[in-house]
Amino acid sequence: MGKQYLGLPIIPADTAFGLMADFDADTHPNKVSLIAGAYRDASGNPWILPSVRKAKEAIGESTLEVAEPNDVVILQTCAHNPTGVDLSNPQWMKILDLVQRKKLFVVFDSAYQGFATGDVNEDAWAVRLFTEEILASGSHPGLCVAQSFSKNFGLYGERVGALHLIVPRHLSAQGAQSELMAIARAEYSNPPRPGAVIVETILGDQRLKAQWETDLNTMSSRIKEMRHELRWKLEKETQQDWSYIENQIGMFSSTGLTSQQVSRLRDEFHVYLLPSGRLSVCGLTERNVQYVAHAICQVMNT
């Protein structure tokens, strides 16, 4: 081994971290960790204090409070990725008030319309609320909606979507339109037509659109059913509360699993999640949900 960079010495490993690694590697079924000074509830799970939850909400609001006029704020419309936790209507109203008062430019990220409630109109509630209020304003800079049809039309390889620019009446959209055209020309010039034609055909035909809305409800309902099944099977095996799994919305669930637990799921049970612990509920089926629940329990308990 060569000389250490800048002559810096190798610092001995932290005792607590070393013990935690030993605990993770220990395969004994009755192992107990009394190392970390981190509070756990009666079930041995981390406890997020209600006061902390409220503080996080206040911090989010204070972040917008210090924003300057025309600052850009990116908001996911529904079926939040990766948390699965959406804003309530009253919370959207509070954000709208801040956006109007501070004259912030909102960019809505709409990738999962229809997957939150199964109803595309209900899932567009926040976008339509903001649009109506901002269009009525005489001083607001407007907003933008970046909409993807990859998920809700199942056109994953086509990269179909739309960019909606909402410009208040006191402003002209010509400059923005020319800028967007220049960006499109530089990025992709002319996008592939097949996916766009499919979406145009479906949305332009009332019978096809009704069928598409039924299809969306089918997908959304199955995801909700899998959430319920996963929660029920986890609670049955652990005797713990997993209600947050079912309370989350959309395709994804933030499980709270550590990266080490995710690695064990992959290596020992061949169940693959992102290192963050984000689980795609879409991958669950009646045939594998029991196996996945059991695997999660195993990596949590041993």
Which residue from 162, 290, 171 is spatially nearest to 235, judged by alpha carbons?
290
Angle at 232 between CA 231 and CA 236, to 5 degrees: 115
Could you tell me if 82 and 195 lie in one domain? yes
**What one-letter code names the amino acid at 41?**
D
What CATH number should be reported for the domain holding residue 144?
3.40.640.10
Could you tell me if 132 and 253 lie in one domain? no
Could you tell me if 147 and 252 lie in one domain? no
Could you tell me if 186 and 71 lie in one domain? yes
Q: What does the pLDDT read at residue 176?
A: 84
Could you tell me if 196 and 260 lie in one domain? no
86 DSSP 8-state letter:
P
Q: What does the pLDDT read at residue 221?
A: 92
* 170 in any annotated domain: yes
* 45 in any annotated domain: no
Could you tell me if 58 and 151 lie in one domain? yes
* 210 in any annotated domain: no
For residue 75, the cross-strand partners are 108
Q: What does the pLDDT read at residue 226?
A: 93
Q: What does the pLDDT read at residue 292?
A: 93
Could you tell me if 73 and 187 lie in one domain? yes
Q: What does the pLDDT read at residue 5?
A: 59
Could you tell me if 184 and 275 lie in one domain? no
Number of domains forming the structure of the chain? 2
Q: What does the pLDDT read at residue 82?
A: 83
* 2 in any annotated domain: no
Taking CB atoms within 8 Å and a gap of at least 24, the contacts of 20-27 are: 24/260, 27/302
* 118 in any annotated domain: yes
pTM of the complete model: 0.72
Q: Which domain holds residue 245?
A: 220-301
Residue pLDDT tens, the chain, 302 long: 456 555 667 677 666 667 677 777 777 776 666 555 555 556 665 556 666 666 656 655 667 778 888 899 999 999 988 888 888 999 999 999 999 998 999 999 999 999 998 899 999 999 999 999 988 887 888 899 999 999 898 888 788 999 999 888 888 888 888 888 888 888 888 888 888 899 999 999 999 999 999 999 999 999 999 999 999 999 998 888 899 899 999 989 988 888 899 999 999 999 998 888 889 998 999 989 999 999 999 998 86
Q: What does the pLDDT read at residue 145?
A: 96
Residue positions counted in the chain: 302
Could you tell me if 297 and 230 lie in one domain? yes
Q: Which of 155, 175, 204 is the last residue of a domain?
A: 204
What CATH number should be reported for the domain holding residue 281?
3.90.1150.10
Class of residue 273 by CB neighbours under 10 A (exposed 0-12, middle 13-18, buried 19+): buried
* 5 in any annotated domain: no
Q: What does the pLDDT read at residue 26?
A: 78
Q: What does the pLDDT read at residue 298?
A: 92
Q: What does the pLDDT read at residue 68?
A: 87
Give the number of C-alpha atoms closer than 13 A to the C-alpha of residue 61, restricted to the C-beta side: 16
Could you tell me if 93 and 193 lie in one domain? yes
